Amino acid sequence: MYKVMIADDEPLFRYYMRSKLDWSGHGFTICCEAANGREALEEAKQYLPDLALIDISMPYMNGLELAEKLKVNVPGLLIVFVTGHNEFEYAQKAVRLGVHDYLLKPFDQREFDSMMGKVKETLRLRGGFTPSYREAGGNEASLRNNVKQAAQEVFALFNEVSSPSGQGTSPVRHEFHPGTHETLLMALKMRDHEAAMDEIGRTIALFRLQRTGDRFAFTVLMGYVSLCLSYAGEIGMNPESLWKPAASPEQRLREMSSWEETEDWIAGLYHKVIEYRPDARPSKSYNLFMAAKDYIHRNYSDPELTVDQVASGMYVDSSYLRKVFRKEGAIAVLDYITYTRMKQAKELLAEGNVKLAEIAEKVGYADPNYFSKSFKKHYGMPPSEFEQREIRIRQTGK
């Protein structure tokens, strides 16, 4: 049997992984566990697992750091990240590390089986590089060659992609910023269909430039789908209604025959979830929530805009307005003001040829430096880098 290491700082999750999943049915056995990255590295060196399931957020050494060290210390080890929604943005860096796959918490048996099937097939294709070969202590030079070949095969699985001319490497995968999932989640919470469509459309436009489909594209888009389905379940919607009659959302995504169809389907998922309401008639708090959002949209450029000012504009007490935002959007009023300002700043930057100080002023920031820091915190890149990315997309798309 192949050997598995589980690295996660949550004892209950390790127990679930260890006792509730059918490892033996896939030909695997758990050889070790670890509660932090440092411990995982030592366990992996001792037990030489074939597969490591790693949580990204762990004490002492996070999952990304651990993956880098495991590549050096345990050559040929397959790594699968087990991530939460807020951590999925690390998928871009994980791809560069050669991480084999990911599971998005919470996952079900079907998703686990699918992942394990791909892992087992990869190990099978490696041929000589098997658990028995490892344990027998094969010739070091031969082992190194097998490891190198296997690593190249796995890395190519993610990164094989053609440029529009069919030569070289497309820069598309380096254009994704580490704020997309946060923006999409906020769009779901804020019932902001326009923001969701913008992010999905931008991603599809990037993939359209490379004129091919690859594992990286599927991973990114499946992350968008998983985020939407998970949120649908949280608000009481039946996620299966969004991808039936396909056997799974993964299968539904693989059935897409064009980027246009892919964009329409994913955008449609978000639209259905955003428009979903358990009750046919909007409640008073929902109407107030939407009205307050509209007020913020009309006044976000005012640097003095406060929660009290918004509440006054709605003729309600500020504490009540805060409760309404928590109930309807799971967000603070001030956070929504920032969200609106950042969204508008992004649109202005995408237009190009606008000075940073002017953009900062237009979205309610008197200090351009503070605006830049806020933008980078929100989107994971400074305004100048975002603007250059938009220019590259436009130039490549001509």
Same structural domain, 363 and 220? no
- From 217, 248, 275, give the residue that closes a domain: 275
Structural domain includes residue 22: yes
Q: Distance (Å, rounded) from C-alpha 347 to C-alpha 390?
A: 10
- From 117, 133, 159, give the residue that closes a domain: 159
What Rg do the C-alpha atoms of the chain give, in angstroms?
A: 23
Residues near 241 by Cβ (< 8 Å), separated by ≥ 6? none
Same structural domain, 309 and 346? yes
Same structural domain, 68 and 119? yes
Q: Are 63 and 89 in contact (CB under 8 A)?
A: no
Among 74-83, 141-150, 327-336, name the one with the lowest average pLDDT.
141-150
The confidence score (pLDDT) of residue 147 equals 37
Above 70 in pLDDT, residue 118? Answer: yes
Structural domain includes residue 52: yes
Among 83-92, 236-245, 302-311, name the one with the lowest average pLDDT.
83-92
Confirm whether pTM is higher than 0.85: no
SS3 251: helix
Give the domain range for residue 315. Answer: 284-397
Structural domain includes residue 167: no
Structure-token pair, residue 306: 């406060």
Above 60 in pLDDT, residue 379? Answer: yes
> For residues 391 and 36, which has the higher predicted lDDT (pLDDT)?
36
Query: What residue type is 280 in one-letter code?
Result: A
Q: Tell me what the mean pLDDT of segment 15-38 comes to.
A: 87
Q: What pLDDT band is residue 213 in, cutting at 50, 70 and 90?
A: low
Same structural domain, 20 and 151? yes
Query: What residue type is 206 in one-letter code?
Result: L
> For residues 371 and 166, which has the higher predicted lDDT (pLDDT)?
371
Q: Which of 35, 115, 122 is nearest to 77 (CA)?
A: 122
The confidence score (pLDDT) of residue 308 equals 94
Structural domain includes residue 362: yes
Structural domain includes residue 166: no
Same structural domain, 288 and 271? no
The confidence score (pLDDT) of residue 95 equals 53
Same structural domain, 44 and 81? yes
Q: Distance (Å, rounded) from C-alpha 177 to C-alpha 350?
A: 14
The confidence score (pLDDT) of residue 157 equals 25
Above 60 in pLDDT, residue 168? Answer: no
The order of strands in the sheet holding 2-7 is 28-34, 2-7, 51-55, 78-83, 101-104
Q: Tell me what the mean pLDDT of segment 52-76 comes to.
A: 81
The confidence score (pLDDT) of residue 158 equals 27
Q: What pLDDT band is residue 9 in, cutting at 50, 70 and 90?
A: confident
Same structural domain, 372 and 305? yes
The confidence score (pLDDT) of residue 99 equals 65
Above 90 in pLDDT, residue 317? Answer: yes
**Domain containing residue 297: CATH number:** 1.10.10.60
Q: Tell me what the mean pLDDT of segment 42-61 comes to.
A: 86
Structural domain includes residue 81: yes
**Domain containing residue 27: CATH number:** 3.40.50.2300
Same structural domain, 186 and 301? no
Number of domains in the chain: 3
- From 117, 138, 159, give the residue that closes a domain: 159
Above 60 in pLDDT, residue 160? Answer: no
> For residues 246 and 370, which has the higher predicted lDDT (pLDDT)?
370
Beta strand pairing call for 28-34 and 2-7:
parallel
Same structural domain, 135 and 191? no
Same structural domain, 21 and 147? yes
Q: Tell me what the mean pLDDT of segment 183-203 comes to.
A: 85
Same structural domain, 21 and 144? yes
Residues near 30 by Cβ (< 8 Å), separated by ≥ 6? 3, 4, 5, 6, 18, 23
What is the DSSP code (8-state) at residue 20? S
Q: Distance (Å, rounded) from C-alpha 268 to C-alpha 332?
A: 27
Structural domain includes residue 300: yes
Mean pLDDT across the chain, nearest whole number? 77
Above 70 in pLDDT, residue 280? Answer: no
Structure-token pair, residue 180: 């997309």
Instruction: Count the Cβ atoms, other than its own, within 10 Å of residue 321.
Output: 22
Q: What pLDDT band is residue 140 in, cutting at 50, 70 and 90?
A: very low
Same structural domain, 269 and 121? no
Measuring CA to CA, how many Å separate 54 from each of 79, 81, 84, 89?
7, 5, 12, 15
Above 60 in pLDDT, residue 163? Answer: no
Q: What pLDDT band is residue 138 in, cutting at 50, 70 and 90?
A: very low
In this structure, the dihedral spanned by the alpha carbons of residues 272, 277, 281 and 287, taken in order and rounded to 10 degrees, is: -100
> For residues 142 and 28, which has the higher predicted lDDT (pLDDT)?
28
Structural domain includes residue 262: yes
Percent with pLDDT over 90 in the chain:
21
Above 90 in pLDDT, residue 300? Answer: yes
